Amino acid sequence: MRSLLAVLTVVAAIVVLWYAACAPMNIKGVLTELERGGAQVVPEGAPARRDMSAFGLVAGNSFAIPATWAQERPRLPAPHQVVTELWNTTVMKKITSKRSLVYHGWVTLSATLLGFAIGTGLGILLAVGIVHSRVMDMSVMPWAIVSQTIPIIALAPMIIVVLYSVGVQGILPKAIISAYLSFFPVVVGMVKGLRSPDAMQLDLLKTYNANTNQGFWKLRLPASMPYLFASLKIGIAASLVGAIVGELPTGAVAGLGARLLAGSYYGQTVQIWSALFGAAILAGLLVGLLGLIERATLKRMGMS
Amino acid sequence: MNNETMNQTAAARDAAQPVVEARGLDLTFQTNDGPVQALKDVNLTIDKGDFVSFIGPSGCGKTTFLRVMAALEQPTGGTITVNGMTPDEARRNRAYGYVFQAAGLYPWRTIAKNIRLPLEIMGYSRARQEERVKDVLQLVDLEGFGEKYPWQLSGGMQQRASIARALAFDADILLMDEPFGALDEIVRDHLNEQLLQLWARTNKTIGFVTHSIPEAVYLSTRIVVMSPRPGRITDVIESPLPKERPLEIRDTPEFIEIAHRVREGLRAGHSYDD
Ligand SMILES: Nc1ncnc2c1ncn2[C@@H]1O[C@H](COP(=O)(O)OP(=O)(O)OP(=O)(O)O)[C@@H](O)[C@H]1O
Ligand SMILES: [Mg+2]
């Protein structure tokens, strides 16, 4: 109950700040529109207002504040505008419609899930190799780290162009960018998890004359589960980012990334923000779902 | 089987096949701060059915010696045989069960499944596994706890479960490194009593590391006193106490006499440092 109150307080504070920020952000555009409609604003004439501070304009035209929350193409849309747009493009639209955010969300989600599966599989394989082979530890790990220092925004177009030239199109290039971002946390977490059994536990297996295989399945793998889930949660969020970034350079027509791009072409800030929130909600759902699977798995293993 | 009855008398011991035989054993660890001589010229014979305690100040090489017997550590000099083989061969023959200071049960396995772990690894049949688990749970007095997870048990019960795990595959030798070190006196007494009963019933050979003089005297047929820097054996005390030992035996003059000798031995080892 108490924590709910705390959460609500934080949300309320953010909403209040957001509304407050809308006024100075949008005031110039609003005043221009109002003046064109015949209203009395101070000072008169757009050129006179150009160099004035936004806060000064808000102070001098406080009557115009409500209008800053209701523009059609605001610089910063107000919360209720974003919520309305979200509502209209999800619940109120058929999901087959090109304007449905659910449709675009699904396009991005399918690439995200495919990329996440590839990234996780690759990450686990690499981690197993790294833990069992010193050569792999020394040769693969540095490259995995270097791979993550390259900005994905620079790399994504190259990946897409290269794949396109060999005839790979559609969902796969996006999934690969997504996998590129998500394999890394899985590698790091799994390596740590597979190495988490202490010397005593390894010695114990040695006294049973257990082989490497048995050590892996009976000790290392189960011991790594909590680490794996922590990495998967980071990995799935990274996957989503990867899929969205993968949609930008292709000028894709469908997907959350495409909505962001189209929104910025046509100055549809409300659409941009609702796509952003759509992505955030999607990420939240995915992480939450993983959390549920984690709880169920660890509970079944007797570890929680 | 024949040997076991013969072992009862000290005279027959010389004729008995030694389970562990160490001759001039040396072990030097190469560390960043230079070599550390953990064992120097250790000579020891452990016979079948012996209960041998190792006692000595911290760092005198008790754990190291146990680990050498278990082939978890390689000696740098001398020879050691376990059941007439090298320790590594003995390990591969699953000659011993090892109990570490911490219970080290897998948190994701129930007690029964923890005990089953070595059996799974050694390829026991499902039916044999069930049978052995049931038997050893009874041996350590944990019937009815098989389906519990480790965190649902007290520290003493966990330690008993780890002993059951070491007993599961019925190795002749049981090596225990301060298994009761972290437990309180009363629980410890109780477990000591149980361990003696278990030893009497199974006639295993036990190597037992401890810091407690009463524990060593109460449990052992022989007490090996060690001293550090370099780790070596300074005294081996044969206990004249009978095999049947109620807890009250600790108040008898014989018991106090042996405890005194152990204490003297430890003190002598210490003064060597000065
Ligand atoms: N793996 C290792 N590497 C380097 N030195 C070690 C290693 N294991 C033990 N030693 C050293 O060997 C010596 C003997 O250690 P050991 O653990 O056998 O002592 P111990 O008698 O069991 O002591 P305690 O009663 O504290 O358990 C110590 O000086 C220790 O620092
Ligand atoms: Mg020790």
Q: What are A166-178's pLDDT values in tens digits? A: 988 888 999 999 9
The best mutation among B28, B63, B69, B209 to test binding of ligand 1, ranked by most ligand atoms within 8 Å of the C-beta, falls on B63
The set of residues, in sequence order, having a beta carbon less than 8 Å from that of B11 and lying 6+ positions away, is none
**Which chain B residues are closer than 8 Å to A209 by Cβ?**
91-92, 94, 121-122
Q: Quick one: closest CA in B to A212, which residue?
A: B121
Given a cut of 50, whether residue B10 has pLDDT beyond it is no
Which H, E and C letters describe B87-105, residue by residue? HHHHHHCCCEEEECCCCCC
Which of A206, A209, A302 faces B107 most closely, judged by CB atoms? A302
Model confidence, pTM = 0.84
**What's the pLDDT at A6?**
93
Which of A204, A209, A302 faces B108 most closely, judged by CB atoms? A302
**Residue A93 three-state SS:** coil
A279: tokens are 């992505």
Number of H helices, E strands in chain B: 10, 9
DSSP single-letter state for residue A39: -
Given a cut of 60, whether residue B274 has pLDDT beyond it is no
Show the beta-strand stretches assigned E in chain A: none
The set of residues, in sequence order, having a beta carbon less than 8 Å from that of B140 and lying 6+ positions away, is B160, B161, B163, B164, B167, B194, B198
Question: What confidence category does residue B1 fall into, taking pLDDT thresholds of 50, 70 and 90?
Answer: very low
Asked whether the CA dihedral A13, A16, A22, A24 is positive or negative, the reply is: negative
Burial of A239 (0-12, 13-18, 19+ CB in 10 A): buried
The interface predicted TM-score (ipTM) is 0.86
Q: Is B149 in contact with B110 (CB distance < 8 Å)?
A: yes
- Among the listed residues B86, B100, B78, the one whose alpha carbon sits nearest the alpha carbon of residue B26: B78
Given a cut of 90, whether residue A84 has pLDDT beyond it is yes
Q: Does B91 touch chain A (CB under 8 A)?
A: yes
**What's the pLDDT at B13?**
46
- Among the listed residues A185, A199, A198, the one whose alpha carbon sits nearest the alpha carbon of residue A228: A185
**What's the pLDDT at B16?**
61
Amino acid at A294: E
* pLDDT tens, position by position, A94-142: 888 888 899 999 999 999 999 999 999 999 999 999 999 999 999 998 9
Ligand 1 centroid to residue A211 C-alpha, Å: 27
Ligand 2 centroid to residue A204 C-alpha, Å: 16
Asked whether the CA dihedral A113, A117, A119, A124 is positive or negative, the reply is: positive
Q: Is A189 in contact with A164 (CB distance < 8 Å)?
A: no
**Which chain B residues are closer than 8 Å to A301 by Cβ?**
108
Per the CB < 8 Å rule, is A214 touching B121? yes
Q: Does A203 touch chain B (CB under 8 A)?
A: yes
Q: Is A74 in contact with A24 (CB distance < 8 Å)?
A: no
Which ligand 1 atom lies nearest to the CA of residue B62?
Answer: 21
Q: Quick one: closest CA in B to A220, which residue?
A: B106
Chain A, residues 263-302, CB within 8 A of chain B, namely 301-302
Q: Which of A204, A229, A301 to mutate to test the interface with B (most CBs of B within 10 A)?
A: A204
Q: Does B65 touch chain A (CB under 8 A)?
A: no
Which H, E and C letters describe B46-95, residue by residue? EECCCEEEEECCCCCCHHHHHHHHCCCCCCCEEEEEECCECHHHHHHCCC
Q: Quick one: closest CA in A to B171, which residue?
A: A208
* pLDDT tens, position by position, B147-204: 999 999 998 899 999 999 998 998 899 999 998 887 788 878 888 988 898 898 888 9
**What's the pLDDT at B7?**
45
Domains of chain A by start residue, with CATH: 2-76 (no CATH), 101-300 (1.10.3720.10)
Distance CA A226, CA A92 (A): 40
- Among the listed residues A9, A267, A71, the one whose alpha carbon sits nearest the alpha carbon of residue A80: A71
Per the CB < 8 Å rule, is A225 touching B117? no
* pLDDT tens, position by position, B224-254: 999 988 888 998 999 888 888 888 888 999 8
Question: What confidence category does residue A91 fall into, taking pLDDT thresholds of 50, 70 and 90?
Answer: confident
Number of neighbours of residue A3 by Cβ within 10 angstroms: 7
- Closest residue by CA, ligand 1 atom 2: B29
**What's the pLDDT at B11?**
45
The best mutation among B26, B64, B68, B72 to test binding of ligand 1, ranked by most ligand atoms within 8 Å of the C-beta, falls on B64
The set of residues, in sequence order, having a beta carbon less than 8 Å from that of B115 and lying 6+ positions away, is B132, B133, B136, B137, B146, B161, B164, B165, B168
For residue B270, give how far its alpha carbon lies from the nearest alpha carbon of chain A (Å): 29
Ligand 1 centroid to residue B55 C-alpha, Å: 14
* pLDDT tens, position by position, B53-108: 999 998 899 999 999 999 999 999 999 999 989 999 999 998 999 999 889 999 99
- Among the listed residues A248, A247, A251, A197, the one whose alpha carbon sits nearest the alpha carbon of residue A222: A197
Nearest ligand by distance to the CA of B27: 1
Q: How far apart are the first and last CA of chain A?
A: 23
B95: tokens are 């000659």
Q: List chain B domain ranges.
A: 29-95+172-274, 103-170
The CATH class given to the B29-95+172-274 domain equals: alpha beta
What is the rounded average pLDDT of the residues A246-252? 78
What is the rounded average pLDDT of the residues B144-149? 94
- Closest residue by CA, ligand 1 atom 6: B29
Question: What confidence category does residue B270 fall into, taking pLDDT thresholds of 50, 70 and 90?
Answer: low
**Which chain A residues are closer than 8 Å to B107 by Cβ?**
302-303
